[in-house]
Amino acid sequence: MSLPSRTALVPFISVDNMMRLVLHVGIEQMMVELAEAIEADFRRWPQFDKTPRVASHSDIGVIELMPTSDGQHYGFKYVNGHPANMRQGLQTVTAFGVLADVATGYPLLLSEMTILTALRTAATSAMAAKWLAPCDSRVMAMIGNGAQAEFQALAMKAICGIEEVRLYDIDPAATRKCAANLAGRGLRVTPCATAEDAILGAQIITTCTADKQYATILTDNMVGGGVHINAVGGDCPGKTELHRDILLRAGIFVEYPPQTRIEGEIQQLAPDHPVTELWQVITGAAPGRASAGQVTLFDSVGFAIEDFSALRYIHARLQGTGLFQELDMIADPDESRDLFGMLCRAEAAARVA
């Protein structure tokens, strides 16, 4: 089955087919390729429409739309974040996305994005670490061992050469889950009893916790010089993971400042506190790590261009796999102005049947 082109049928990637595609490509290989696709789009950052995500916040979570376009393709993601879902056996984050053709407005792809978001988030983290972390980084601390943890660890292994991951979570069962899932995947896995233990000897520290609150996962005295912090969990207003004093002495790198100042760790700082956009580092427009002893922080909240990159990558990667279904989503009458006639013909056919 080949991908539909100018037709009303839209390829749809279900959760099952997304898993099949990931395994067809290989988990680590897919994250390498996703990071390359995201980096390529970061290099042409000025070509994109950019806006903070459209968010509907409640006391228990958030529902968001994340749109962008490069003038040829348009993409958006629907995503939620509901930390209390875990207590009901539900996912904290779920998502789906659409890629469309700007010239016609027709959708080109509908895809699950719960798995794809985990992959692209990890790929983006590792891409940032490639540019910002110490070049000899071999040990990573993973604080918060929930749904994102294994993806983060494997992306850092595949893209940055990490050899050991040190795990900590307030829930020991989450750490046991993560350690079991990473067994046999080429990493030394070290479960730790405290966050302090986890960061010992780590050049890259990733925080990815779920609670929607102002939290202090890392205090200033825990963080020595020369490390790279990948702060993933702080991704909405009122939700942070790092003590403010860490931010005040770190070189801070972000995706899109108008969004990150609302949702990221830097919501704790003055609106004019200097930050560097990651795309500027990648294109050479701004420096990255300034010295071996500098603390660098990627204040990662996720931005629509990363989802756009992931959707375009998946659309291209589907070719020849047959790992999709064709959905009859778009009414396509024989005469474009005769939509009612299409309904009449269906009515007549129903009478005959």
What does the domain layout of the chain look like in residue ranges? 9-115+306-331, 124-302
- Choosing from 41, 70, 169, 235, the catalytic residue is 235
Q: Which residues, 6+ apart, have CB-to-CB distance to 56 below 8 Å? A: 62, 63, 64
Residue 110, pLDDT > 80, answer yes
Q: What is the CATH number of domain 9-115+306-331?
A: 3.30.1780.10
What CATH homologous superfamily does 124-302 map to?
Answer: NAD(P)-binding Rossmann-like Domain (3.40.50.720)
> Are 274 and 280 a contacting pair, CB within 8 Å?
no
Report the SS3 class of residue 306: helix
Contact of 170 with 144, CB cutoff 8 Å = no
- Identify the three-state secondary structure at position 256: coil
Report pLDDT for 214.
66
315, pLDDT greater than 50: yes
Q: Residue 223 pLDDT > 50, yes or no? A: yes
- Reported as a pLDDT band with limits 50, 70 and 90, residue 209 is confident
Contact 32, 156 (CB under 8 A): no
Domains 9-115+306-331 and 124-302 share a fold: no
Catalytic residue status for 235:
yes
Are the beta carbons of 251 and 318 closer than 8 angstroms?
no
Q: Which pLDDT score is estimated for 91?
A: 86
Q: Does the pLDDT of residue 185 top 60, yes or no?
A: yes
State the DSSP string of 185-240: SS-EEEE-SSHHHHTTT-SEEEE-----SEEEEE-GGG--TT-EEEE-S--BTTBE
pLDDT at 164: 98
Order of strands, sheet of 95-101, starting from the edge strand that comes earlier in the sequence: 54-58, 61-69, 73-81, 95-101, 107-112, 9-13, 325-328
Would you state the pLDDT for residue 83? 82
Strands 95-101 and 250-254: unpaired
Entry pTM:
0.93
Higher-pLDDT residue of 242, 236: 242
Confidence band (pLDDT; 50, 70, 90) for 233? Answer: confident
Reply yes or no on whether the pLDDT at 235 is more than 80: no
Say if CB 248 and CB 275 are below 8 A apart.
no
- CB neighbour burial string for 167-203, b if at least 16 within 10 angstroms, e if fewer: bbbeeeebbebbbeebeeeebebbbbeebeebbeebb
Confidence class of residue 114 from pLDDT cuts 50, 70 and 90?
Answer: very high
How far is Cα 310 from Cα 317, in angstroms, rounded to an integer? 10
